[in-house]
Structure 1
Amino acid sequence: MPKPYPREFRDDVVRIAREREPGVTVEQIAKDFGVHPMTLFKWLRQADIDAGTKPGVSGSESAELREARKRIKLLEQENEVLR
């Protein structure tokens, strides 16, 4: 699995894609930065969700859910041991 791109890089590419001039496509921007166009589309969609302009699970909520699920799993394992 490839290493994830740094957060600063993703934010910069999304900002540039949003501020692009007429006639410049998202595909061209993705190619210029060496990312797959679908990856950039996903970043744009997630940025909209994080900004609250589209419904969905934001990045911070997603991290909270992962942590909560880990904690629940650990507690279930501890509960199982106590039985």
Structure 2
Amino acid sequence: MAVEARQDSATRAGAYRRVRQQLGIHPETLRTWVKQAEIDEGHRPGTTTSDSQRLIELEKEVRELRRANSVLRSASAFFAAELDRPQR
């Protein structure tokens, strides 16, 4: 809504203020939303919403894999120590 109002030359002046008042939100919130919409549409450089979500998913997967790797490393050290013990 704000992006469209800003693109129309007839409504450009004060577009953010009008939209912000209609929605009842803080000016910085609207500015952030418009900036992200422009990034998502390719009008501004930056990380798109979909790329950002994918990065979050990949970081979560990396944490899980590192945790699993740590567990497997500990288990292999434990079993290796058991095999090195003298048999009775």
Fold match, TM over 0.5? yes
Cα 1:53/1:45, change in 2 over 3 Å: same
Aligned partners of 2:12 and 2:44: how far apart in 1? Answer: 23
Per the TM alignment, residue 24 of structure 1 is displaced from its structure 2 partner at its CA by 2.8
* Structure 2 unmatched ranges of 5 or more: 74-88
Note the residue ranges of structure 1 that are not aligned, 5 or more in a row: 1-12
SS of 1:41's equivalent?
Answer: helix
The 5 A counterparts of 1:1-83 are 13-15=1-3, 17-18=5-6, 19=8, 21-83=11-73
Which protein is bigger by CA-based radius of gyration?
Answer: 2
Over aligned residues, Cα RMSD in angstroms?
1.8
Instruction: Name the amino acid aligned to 1:74.
Output: E
- Contact 2:40/2:48, CA 8 A, preserved across alignment: yes
CA separation in 2, counterparts of 1:53 and 1:23?
20
Q: How much has 1:53 moved relative to structure 2?
A: 1.1
Indicate the structure whose relative CO is greater, using CA pairs within 8 Å and at least 6 residues apart. 1
TM-score normalized by the length of structure 2? 0.70
Q: Any idea what SS the aligned residue of 1:21 has?
A: coil
Q: TM-score scaled by structure 1?
A: 0.74
